[in-house]
């Protein structure tokens, strides 16, 4: 009972803030609201800090979330990754959410270090400098060590408990919303949405996981060298503390960071660095804004803040490649078939009708110079079309497409003439050769061979089960009611076919194809 009361008080505060920002009762809909709601909204909008006039709904929503605190800011950032759910314009507005908050004191930071590292804190973290940057979840300090300067990220005091309470309130309103009869609300699946966001946020509260992501990404990025990541100092990491090498350089948010820089080369590095990690390894930095990019003094482009990462499997990579290729070749029927084959569009929709809708996305770009064609525009228009056909994308694929939009925006801000299609070509061509050339075919054969050998190893166990099934079919117990059983010969025949096929594939691979 007390939990419910606390949750509703938190939601009431959130509702008041959103009303002040014209999020709940926008001016355009004020005439349709009940008189008491109109009166409350008018009073709340008079209070300072609303800032709603002249802004789009997504901008007003972002302003309200910034005032509500860490969990709500993260909610908005997570919603910005789902243009398929909230719409393209709102997603773009929420992607600009500011994550900066006033820093907490150095005394509190040092207390956290003592709690995490005990007596070793003084040795590991000498001369903790003032905070360099403060966000909703953590802040960063610089320390000097015998091994060189380090960047130390420390969680805000009590942030875990604060976020736990806010998430509990969000879960409550999500459950209430899902009971509504609104088709649009049900399509958004609010309970699943909040749970997915909660899992992502919970992972951000364990900095050991971010350390692991930074380390893995650094190894992957080093293969091509387009981008890099600071090395993790594992001795100085814990659940609430993350330490990496300090990067001497300028953030791309610094107005003078690009002075004297080869802008086309830098834009190409950003695009290729993202695609090489995503396509070749299925692991990518999913928060690629200028604030997370540092141009090091030695010329390297270093990415930081690995709290939001994305993973995609081979099937998702192939899906993305096929839809991009289909649009470029104007093969809208194939693009529609790929969506249906992947199960992203419900089978009750006609492939021909879906292809017709996709044509409205592809035709405006046909015949235009590639540098005048925005990949972001193609993908976001695709979101709008597929939403009309009840499309439900897997979150990791949506995150990939959202990051592609972000990458294009940053690259073209650096170099307005940036041709993202041309920049991506070397990486995409390399991936295509590997996946569909001799190397790819050989890998497919090896994978098939491994799968076949695994089945062969299980063959004795499979034959034992077949033998039991045959005996059971020959001497069935009296059934309590008529039941249909698979005949023993069918089990035997199926097993024989599987075993023979597995043996043949294994022999072919071992023999060299």
Catalytic residue among 22, 287, 305, 415: 287
Q: Which residues pair with 141 in a beta bridge?
A: 131, 152
Dist CA 93 CA 320 (whole Å) = 25
How many Å apart are CA 258 and CA 414, to the nearest integer? 8
DSSP alpha helix (H) spans, 342-476: 351-362, 375-388, 395-414, 420-436, 438-457, 459-474
Name beta bridge partners: 250: 295
Considering only the C-alpha atoms of the chain, give the largest distance between any 2 of them, rounded to a whole number of Å: 87
For residues 429 and 264, what is the distance between their CA atoms, to the nearest angstrom?
20
Radius of gyration of the chain (CA): 28
Shortest CA distance to 106 belongs to which of 157, 170, 178? Answer: 157
User: Torsion over CA of 30, 36, 41 and 44, rounded to 10 degrees?
Assistant: 170
Contact 210, 307 (CB under 8 A): yes
287 tagged catalytic: yes
Give the Cα separation of 358 and 105 in Å (integer). Answer: 54
Beta-strand (E) ranges in 262-300?
283-285, 293-296
Whether residue 138 contacts residue 207, with contact meaning beta carbons closer than 8 Å, is answered with yes
Give CA–CA dist 166/184, Å, rounded.
24
- Under a CB-based contact definition with an 8 Å cutoff, are residues 332 and 358 in contact? yes
Degrees, nearest 5: CA angle 343-344-348:
70
Angle at 453 between CA 450 and CA 459, to 5 degrees: 150
Give, for 21, the enclosing helix (H) or strand (E): none
Alpha-carbon gap, residue 322 to 329, rounded angstroms: 10
Contact 419, 370 (CB under 8 A): yes
CB burial readout 32-49, b (16+ within 10 A) else e: eeeeeeeebbeebbeeee
Residues labelled catalytic:
287
């Amino acid at each position: 009972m007390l939990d419910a009361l606390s949750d509703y008080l938190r939601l009431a505060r959130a509702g008041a803030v959103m009303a002040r920002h014209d999020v709940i009762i926008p001016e355009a809909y004020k005439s349709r609201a009940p008189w008491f709601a109109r009166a409350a909204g008018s009073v709340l909008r008079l209070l300072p800090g609303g800032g709603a006039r002249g802004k789009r709904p997504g901008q007003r929503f972002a302003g309200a979330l910034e005032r509500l605190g860490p969990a709500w800011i993260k909610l908005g950032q997570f919603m910005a990754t789902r243009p398929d759910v909230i719409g393209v314009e709102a997603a773009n507005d929420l992607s600009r959410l500011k994550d900066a908050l006033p820093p907490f004191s150095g005394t509190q930071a040092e207390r956290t270090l003592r709690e995490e590292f005990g007596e070793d804190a003084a040795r590991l973290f000498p001369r903790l400098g003032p905070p360099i940057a403060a966000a909703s979840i953590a802040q960063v300090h610089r320390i000097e060590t015998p091994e060189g300067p380090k960047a130390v990220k420390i969680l805000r005091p009590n942030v875990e408990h604060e976020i736990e309470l806010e998430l509990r309130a969000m879960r409550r309103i999500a459950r209430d919303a899902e009971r509504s009869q609104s088709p649009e609300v049900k399509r958004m699946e609010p309970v699943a949405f909040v749970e997915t966001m909660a899992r992502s946020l919970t992972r951000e509260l364990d900095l050991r996981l971010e350390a692991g992501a930074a380390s893995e990404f650094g190894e992957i990025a080093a293969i091509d060298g387009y981008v890099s990541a600071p090395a993790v100092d594992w001795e100085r990491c814990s659940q609430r503390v993350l330490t990496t090498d300090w990067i001497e350089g300028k953030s791309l948010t610094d107005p003078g960071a690009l002075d004297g820089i080869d802008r086309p080369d830098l834009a190409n590095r950003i695009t290729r660095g993202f695609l090489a990690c995503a396509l070749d390894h299925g692991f990518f930095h999913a928060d690629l804004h200028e604030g997370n990019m540092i141009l090091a003094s030695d010329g390297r482009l270093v990415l930081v803040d690995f709290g939001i990462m994305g993973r995609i499997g081979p099937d998702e990579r192939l899906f993305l490649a096929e839809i991009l290729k289909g649009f470029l070749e104007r093969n809208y029927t194939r693009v529609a078939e790929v969506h249906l084959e992947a199960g992203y569009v419900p089978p009750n929709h006609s492939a021909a009708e879906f292809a017709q809708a996709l044509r409205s996305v592809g035709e405006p770009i046909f015949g235009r110079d590639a540098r005048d064609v925005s990949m972001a525009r193609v993908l976001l228009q695709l979101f709008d079309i597929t939403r009309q056909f009840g499309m439900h994308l897997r979150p990791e694929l949506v995150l990939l497409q959202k990051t592609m939009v972000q990458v294009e925006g940053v690259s073209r801000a650096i170099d307005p003439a940036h041709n993202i299609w041309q920049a991506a070509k070397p990486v995409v061509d390399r991936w295509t050769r590997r996946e569909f050339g001799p190397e790819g075919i050989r890998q497919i054969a090896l994978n098939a061979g491994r799968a076949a050998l695994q089945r062969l190893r299980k063959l004795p166990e499979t034959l034992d089960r077949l033998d039991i099934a045959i005996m059971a079919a020959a001497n069935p117990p009296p059934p309590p009611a008529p039941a249909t059983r698979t005949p023993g010969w069918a089990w035997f025949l199926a097993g024989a076919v599987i075993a023979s096929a597995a043996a043949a594939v294994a022999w072919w691979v071992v023999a060299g194809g």
